[in-house]
Amino acid sequence: MHPDGSNAIVTEHLTREFGTRTAVDSLNLKIASGTMFGLLGPNGAGKSTTIRMLCTMLPPTRGDAIVAGHSILLDAAGVRRSIGYVSQMLSADGALTGAENLMLFARIYGIPRSIRKKRIEEALEFMGLAEFGSKIVSSYSGGMIRRLEIAQSMLHHPPVLFLDEPTVGLDPVARHLVQEKLKELRATFGTTILLTTHDMQEADELCDLIAIMQSGRIAVVGLPEELKRLAGAESMDDVFIHFAGKILEKPTTFHDIQTTRQRARRME
């Protein structure tokens, strides 16, 4: 595969197996630069595994992907320089202040010393955290921590940003603010954003393009309106049930449920 200028993310038969289970099954996706792309699907559909492969945290069993012009197989370091990643967990360090959390990543991303401080101030201001930079993160609310994590991931102005369930466990006000900030981020920097979510309304409002995953495969990709038409549905919830409905009845693992609930509790 060759880097494709107009596509920020291209996957080619991207596959990941865990033992006998195929978590992601020959995924072929093309995501144009500047797109807000929503990856939807029930628990265990392969959304997080896909993101972890695209972020080079997990090698694929087969296939490849080009992220921001770099192959995840041949140039993992190039991929890592060009992306930002927000984990589905609450990953800011509670023992540090907001600014200290950002400083660690400013250093690691090689932001020159001369502009580090300015970048950190800008990122805090952009995410509405300007007054809280010197406060310890353990005193932040769930929404503030999430915005800090997004600030952390965009410090180096990456062309591609991955967010794994960025609004899970947030109250409606905090969720709305995070969504607004993501829109602003895309508008300001032209960032390609790939996010996963369980919230169909969020996907409808936020994303240009939506893919619904089911058992490691893409069941359907399209504009929100297209998907509604295809499913003959009024709402995105109905679209989700139409394309992923059968899977919802499949039992998920106790561990998955425990993890999801713990995460939601920590965000409150």
Give the pair of three-digit tokens for residue 74: 């041949």
Question: Does 95 interact with another protein (rule: CB under 8 A)?
Answer: yes
**What is the identity of the amino acid at 184?**
E
Least separation in angstroms between CB 151 and another protein: 11
Question: Does 109 interact with another protein (rule: CB under 8 A)?
Answer: yes
- CB proximity list for 158: less than 8 A, separation 6 or greater: 68, 82, 83, 84, 191
Stretch that binds another protein, among 81-89, 175-183, 206-214, 224-232 (CB under 8 A): 81-89
Q: 23 or 174: whose CB is closer to another protein?
A: 23
Q: 86 or 213: whose CB is closer to another protein?
A: 86
**What is the identity of the amino acid at 17?**
E
Q: In the beta sheet, which residues pair with residue 196?
A: 39, 164
Least separation in angstroms between CB 101 and another protein: 9
Question: Does 55 interact with another protein (rule: CB under 8 A)?
Answer: yes
Question: Does 37 interact with another protein (rule: CB under 8 A)?
Answer: no
Question: Does 159 interact with another protein (rule: CB under 8 A)?
Answer: yes
Interface residue with another protein among 37, 126, 140, 240 (CB under 8 A) is 126
Closest listed residue to residue 249, CA positions, set 25, 28, 44, 12: 44
Half-sphere exposure in the Cβ direction for 76 (13 Å, CA): 9
C-alpha separations of 52 from 16, 23, 59, 140, 267 in Å:
10, 12, 8, 27, 22
Strand 217-222 relative to strand 209-214: parallel, antiparallel, unpaired?
antiparallel
Question: Does 100 interact with another protein (rule: CB under 8 A)?
Answer: yes
Q: Cα 105 to the chain's mean position, in Å?
A: 18
Which residues lie near another protein (CB under 8 A)?
52, 55-58, 77-78, 80-83, 85-91, 93, 95-96, 100, 103-105, 107-112, 122, 126, 149, 152-153, 156-159, 162, 188-190
